[in-house]
Structure 1
């Protein structure tokens, strides 16, 4: 086990890391989490049973959880390769920048991302890796294409994605996408290191990076595609999501419009 801290990195929040294993794969799976409790441990258990930890290195990008779910000894038993804990400012975008910085420094050929709230079919990771190996630079998971499944999607969320967010993203990207708020994705090293992309910038604090990377690839002539996945919301109880209410959805739209206008372009 290797423990360390990183400070004063341009475009990367301060963070500390615990590496349980060295790099084992050409690909890594970044999972941004904060106080996901049993949900992230259930997701990691599913990944382990499906052998995902043998096909890519699982890297948790913690935003500063206080619920006890990020105990290193427990995570090591679940097949986690590395735990990164953000100590600097920012939300999901900062967590992803931390993870991308780590992944690029380790020399991975591709980077996958998935939410840590156990809504997504982590068993489908091989589909993303296959597309990266075929030469795609952006691989978007979609519950709305053939082979995908949308389970208990809240009606307002369904309408917002299908009727507003996906059409606008597709218009900007000049390629049709169907599930553009879905963070279950993969990016090639070539995309993330492209001089006209530069994902490691402080402007990406929240959901800006997801919107930006959805659009930028095809605008630069890089290859993008979708693969089928399942996203399942619980039938009862509180919906596990960080995007809630009118403000949360309106903020997503504002971010998308800014990305469409090129405001995040370097």
Structure 2
């Protein structure tokens, strides 16, 4: 089924392999992740993640065959959404958030599709959502978390730049703010003071904005320990280029600190 573009939501095609089964959804934005997303889904399958949440792939238009239907079905993927209009990660997440809210999930968990994150920890996020938290940030830098083979420059930039700016903006201390492994309550996403479904969120703006808006409007936020493991050798799996990508991230952080994304 194809959903036409609407304000705040890109045009996208939906392949619904199963009806809604759980109260929570895991949204995985990907584009040409190759074997990485398959390995991640295999880990989810092995750890019975689909017993806790419906797994939704939010594809940006992959052409490498990583979204082949039979494999996704075999690995208990619930639905595949394929973005058809402009935008990058932010647009993929808006597509997934809209779909999840339309389906009536109580909350969503987002996680990158490059097999760096401990997808087996999904139940821990759901426990916190059930406790009444509206934003749950996964962190490799708190007690119980594990940062494995993290590039030195990443560690420095997160700890000395990104996390302090986000923490100041949010009025609450966070330690791993570039980490897209996190959860949001439906209450948070539906709040009129938040409005995540806006076309201004095209790349990484939405992650930065949702990191701070919950506590700004008096909602509950916390961190939980997770593992993020980079490959010991070879190219670092990331969509952020060192110079241009990090420059854009800094611009987003500064705009976010000054409330540029607030409704």
After TM superposition, the score normalised by the length of structure 1 is 0.98
Unaligned 5+ segments in structure 2 are none
Output the CA distance in 2 between the equivalents of 1:67 and 1:139.
Answer: 32
What is the DSSP-based 3-state SS (H/G/I as helix, E as strand, rest coil) of the residue aligned with 1:36? Answer: coil
The aligned residue for residue 94 of structure 1 is 91
The aligned residue for residue 134 of structure 1 is 131
Deviation at 1:245, TM superposition (A): 1.1
Kindly indicate whether the alpha-carbon contact (under 8 Å) linking 2:209 and 2:256 is maintained by their aligned counterparts in 1.
Answer: yes
How many residues are aligned here? 263
Return the match for 1:191 from 184, 188, 193. 188
Output the CA distance in 2 between the equivalents of 1:213 and 1:60.
Answer: 20
Deviation at 1:244, TM superposition (A): 2.1
- Aligned-residue RMSD, C-alpha: 0.5
After TM superposition, the score normalised by the length of structure 2 is 0.99
Deviation at 1:54, TM superposition (A): 1.3
Does 1:69 pair with 2:69? no
The aligned residue for residue 34 of structure 1 is 31
Does 1:113 pair with 2:79? no
Deviation at 1:256, TM superposition (A): 0.9
Return the match for 1:54 from 40, 48, 51. 51
Does 1:143 pair with 2:137? no
Return the match for 2:100 from 95, 103, 109. 103
Residues 149-201 of structure 1 show CA distances to partners (whole Å, capped at 9, x for unaligned) of 00000011110000010011001100000000000000000000000100000
1:155-194, aligned counterparts within 5 Å? Answer: 155-194=152-191
Kindly indicate whether the alpha-carbon contact (under 8 Å) linking 2:5 and 2:12 is maintained by their aligned counterparts in 1.
Answer: no
Does 1:222 pair with 2:211? no
What is the DSSP-based 3-state SS (H/G/I as helix, E as strand, rest coil) of the residue aligned with 1:31? Answer: strand
After the TM superposition, which segments of 4 or more aligned residues of structure 1 sit over 2 Å from their partners?
none
What is the DSSP-based 3-state SS (H/G/I as helix, E as strand, rest coil) of the residue aligned with 1:81? Answer: strand
Does 1:253 pair with 2:241? no
Output the CA distance in 1 between the equivalents of 2:229 and 2:71.
Answer: 26
Output the CA distance in 2 between the equivalents of 1:33 and 1:213.
Answer: 19
Q: Comparing 199-208 with 7-16, which one deviates more in the overlay?
A: 7-16
Output the CA distance in 1 between the equivalents of 2:30 and 2:126.
Answer: 22
1:239-250, aligned counterparts within 5 Å? Answer: 239-250=236-247
Deviation at 1:250, TM superposition (A): 1.5
What is the DSSP-based 3-state SS (H/G/I as helix, E as strand, rest coil) of the residue aligned with 1:59? Answer: strand
Output the CA distance in 2 between the equivalents of 1:86 and 1:72.
Answer: 16
Does 1:209 pair with 2:206? yes
What is the DSSP-based 3-state SS (H/G/I as helix, E as strand, rest coil) of the residue aligned with 2:137? Answer: strand
Unaligned 5+ segments in structure 1 are none
